[in-house]
Structure 1
Amino acid sequence: MIAPPVALDSALLFAPERIVWPANWAGHIPFAALLIARHKPRVLVELGTHNGFSYSAFCQAVQENSLNTYCHAVDTWEGDEHSGYYGEHIYQDIKRWHDARFAAFSTLHRTTFDEAATAFAPASIDLLHIDGLHTYEAVRHDFYTWLPKLSSRAVVLFHDTEIRQADFGVWQFWKEISVDYPHFSFTHCNGLGVLLVGDHPPAEVKALCKAFSLHGQHLQQLFARLGGNVEWQARSRELKRQLDQQREHDEREKKVLRQQLDHACMNIQKLLNSRSWRITRPLRALGRWVP
């Protein structure tokens, strides 16, 4: 493999603390760590956080690199027709994790993307991750709604650029918008598009983009392999959780059956000890001799 002109130590060494299921973003975690370390964004915004897999990785990378980055996660935490609709426990779970680790430099905004956009000043966001509803109309709307908020250093990430089923349209918008800006993309883990929107991106981000233009195939393979390790961890934990859940279910069933058996034995014993059972003993004995 030809060595790319950008050091990859952050991606190689990064170990995400939060690994959850579903793990649709797991394969891009190493690149996320590398991008944070190289880009050093002043303000990061994620549109569509769900269980917080990607957002937790961004925040962890900010911490580990001791950056002065402020992070914002925007989501209603209700779900949509693509991610599915889910209960309050999803939000409460990520909130507990987030508040214990990242509250000093991060905020969870429980609102719509459009409402949240009004709270950000023009040209203030260096890194924007768009991962909300994945129709063409929705992703296009999100991009152009937030475009005025992007700085001259801005990079935009689009997840699911490789899904071409049902009404998923990120791939279509990516094909359309990537013509206008420097960019590179990944094909593994549903795809991830990286768009250099700002007129003056950091030198290390420009170098990363150049590396992909020169060694794209090798870097694709490297990050797919690195991301595959995180995906494997996520799958392993989910399988273990399912097995533990099945064991707990089996144990509960066994306990219920034991209780039912104990209850039946107790009732039988009560019957055997009852006065009516003793009185009718001669009749039962006679019944054994009379056809």
Structure 2
Amino acid sequence: MKEWVYHEPKFECDEINYELLRYSPWSGHRNFAYDFVSFFKPQIIVELGSYYGCSAFAFAQSIKDKGLESKFYGIDTWQGDDFTENDYKKNVFLAFSEVAKSCFANQEVNMIRKTFDEAIDDFEDNSIDLLHIDGSHHYEDAKHDFETWLSKVKSGGVIMFHDISSDKMYGEIMGSHNFWEELKQKFKFTFQFDFSYGLGILFLSEEKYNLFIKLIDAEKYQKMNNSLSVEYKDELRKNYFKLEDNKFHINSLHEQLKTKDYHLDKYKADMEEKNKYIEKLQTQVAEQNKGLNEYQLNVEGKDNYIKELEVKILELDKGLSEYSLNVEEKDKYIKELEKSLKDYQLNVEGKDKYIEELENEVKEKENSIFELEEKIKKSIFGRFIKK
């Protein structure tokens, strides 16, 4: 009889998305999932709710390591529900896709981005070997998913349910726990692990169930989980101190940033003052430029006026030259006149002297005539007396 092997596999997906896969609530069941696929070799594995892919990549790792021809289908909208809506990020689908492409490019790891009801028509009845239900954890949703997909599972198939423990999540016991308790009353061949939020396993085949119960050592997986829990807690504790150190460093950086912000604010204020001063200078420069333009216009106007004056001066110089020539001619004429006048004066003086001489001669002649007349008179009067 074939033995059940307890592997210690290396999950390659952790190298890409370590924290969100290794510390996932499902991570405590990864070794069991790996061993289950390795032992039963299911041809078709369908998972309702893949999230970041902790369970999906555990199944896929076993398929890859054991060289199985199994096909895996992960069905999810990758939008989350009210239990995980705060955990989802916009890049969840891309994170899942990156691991699938990087680690399982040669395996049939298929992602179907649909609701569970939309994807159900993609599978024939009695075609699924292993169905893993890990969608909404509300009672009605878990029940609906089981009842809707049950016909798609082979008569000898297996159905796994996560989150079937009585542990509280966000302050309440999940509806999937209550539904699992009901299923155990209806189906005889069930098994469960209570750690890691619980994993329920429902066998539709009594033969497969009996084989499983006979071979498996459930306590061993409990111990594995306990050991991993200690290991994870130690890692988290170390990470905590690293985070504390980082937090201290971050706080120190925050203080440095505050100091830098203070100096930046001061620098900003100084720059604002400088900018205001620059604006003031620019205004002054603009006004000076305006005045300079006006001055330039005035200078140009004055230059034009000077040019006009220079033209007029040239014209005046020309006229002055002509005037100088005329003055010289006039001065020459005056000199000639003055010379003529002097000659005239000399002539006049000569004539005056001549006239004076003539007048003297006339006077002398008049005196001579007077004397003669007197003589005549005396002569006549003497004669008259004698008679």
TM-score by length of 2: 0.59
Partner of 1:80: 81
* More helix by percentage: 2
Comparing 192-201 with 169-178, which one deviates more in the overlay? 192-201
Q: Which residue of structure 2 lines up, in the alignment, with residue 193 of structure 1?
A: 200
Aligned to 2:33: 32
**Equivalent position of 1:209 in the other structure:** 213
- Does structure 2 conserve the Cα–Cα contact (< 8 Å) formed by 1:188 and 1:224? yes
Residue 113 of structure 1 corresponds to: 116
2:190 paired residue among 179, 183, 189: 183
Q: Is 2:11 aligned against 1:16? A: yes
Q: Which moved more, 1:21-30 or 1:154-163?
A: 21-30
Gap change, CA 1:74 and 1:159, over 3 Å in 2: same
Q: CA deviation at 1:73?
A: 0.6
The answer to which structure, 1 or 2, has the higher relative contact order (CA under 8 A, 6+ apart) is 1
In the TM superposition, residue 127 of structure 1 has moved relative to its aligned partner by 0.8
Aligned residues of 1:75 and 1:112 also touching (Cα < 8 A): yes
RMSD, matched Cα: 3.4
Higher strand share: 1
Higher deviation after alignment, 183-192 or 258-267: 258-267
- Counterpart of 1:102 in structure 2 is 104
Matched residue type, 2:10? A
CA distance in 2 between partners of 1:76 and 1:242 (Å): 33
CA contact (8 A) 1:20 1:53 kept: no
Percent identical across equivalent pairs?
27
The answer as to whether partners of 2:50 and 2:56 remain within 8 angstroms in 1 is yes
Distance apart, 1:182 and its partner CA: 1.5
Paired residue for 1:283? none
Q: Distance in 1 between matches of 2:121 and 2:114?
A: 11
1:170 Cα deviation from its structure 2 partner: 1.8
Cα offset, 1:32, TM superposition: 0.9
Q: Deviation at 1:56?
A: 1.4
Structure 1 unaligned blocks of 5 or more: 277-291
The structural deviation recorded for 1:186 is 0.5
Counterparts in 2 of 1:73 and 1:268: CA distance versus 1, 3 Å: closer
Q: What 5-or-longer segments of structure 2 have no aligned partner?
A: 278-387
Shift in Å, 1:94 = 1.4
Q: Match of 1:56?
A: 57
Instruction: Determine helix, strand or coil for the equivalent of 1:111.
Output: coil
Structure 2 contact 135–142 (Cα < 8 Å) conserved: yes
Q: Secondary structure at the match of 1:253?
A: helix
Q: Which residue does the alignment assign to 1:151?
A: 154
Once the two structures are superposed, residues 79-115 of structure 1 have per-residue CA deviations (whole angstroms, 9 ceiling, x without a partner) of: 1111224231122111111122224411111110111
Alpha-carbon distance between aligned partners in 1 of 2:112 and 2:38, rounded to the nearest angstrom? 24
Partner residue, 1:142 = 145
